[in-house]
Amino acid sequence: MQHFLNYNQPNNGLTGYVKNSVIVKDLVIVKDLVLIGGGHSHAIALKQFGMNPIPGVQLTLITDVTYTPYSGMLPGYIAGSYRFEDCHIDLRLLAQFSQVRLIRDRAIGLDLENNRVLLAHRPPITFDKLSIDMGSTPATLTVPGAKEYAIPAKPISQFLQYWDQLVDEIVQHPQQPMRLAIVGGGQAASS
């Protein structure tokens, strides 16, 4: 059952939370929608949910990162045109805006018989509906030498850690020769 009270009127002791200038009281959760991963699709879904919440739906985001990169700006970041803050979405702020439950952990499995997401460091999370947006990961184990010498572009958050380490090494040892090859023909490779 829902009750919408005018925020400007006394609430007669009722408790609730403020949403779009109204106090929402006794909102019954009828569906648990769980999003695994903070990729572009889920970031857009969170924004849309924040602007147009659906009564009775509890939205939960499970992600192992706090900032999700926007891949379209990756070439500009590597070129030095963008700062970290320019090309990343702060999932904490987005979750707060959307009033969704944010769980910072890594999903390690699904229990589909009981509709639960298994997490690395927390108890399982139940769901009615589930969406997975974790991005892709190249199969570097099947390419000879890739594990030892390659820095895969995906997942982007790991790539950026490797890239920043490489840039630090170059800055610390500018006279040290280095060979760098780019394998692939996507937009980021050609920029």
In one-letter notation, the amino acid at residue 169 is E
Q: For residue 129, what pLDDT is reported?
A: 95
Q: For residue 106, what pLDDT is reported?
A: 94
Cα-based torsion angle of the residue sequence 90, 162, 81, 85 in order, rounded to the nearest 10 degrees: 20
H or E segment to which residue 18 belongs: strand 17-19
% of the chain at pLDDT higher than 70: 82
Nearest to 72 by CA among 164, 181, 153: 153
Structure tokens at 98: 């959307």
Question: What pLDDT, in 10s, does the model give residues 125-148?
Answer: 999 999 998 777 777 778 888 888
Q: For residue 154, what pLDDT is reported?
A: 80
Mean pLDDT of all residues in 93-109: 95
Give the separation between CA 171 and CA 163, rounded to whole angstroms.
12
Q: Where in the chain is the domain with CATH 3.50.50.60?
A: 29-135
CATH of domain 29-135: 3.50.50.60
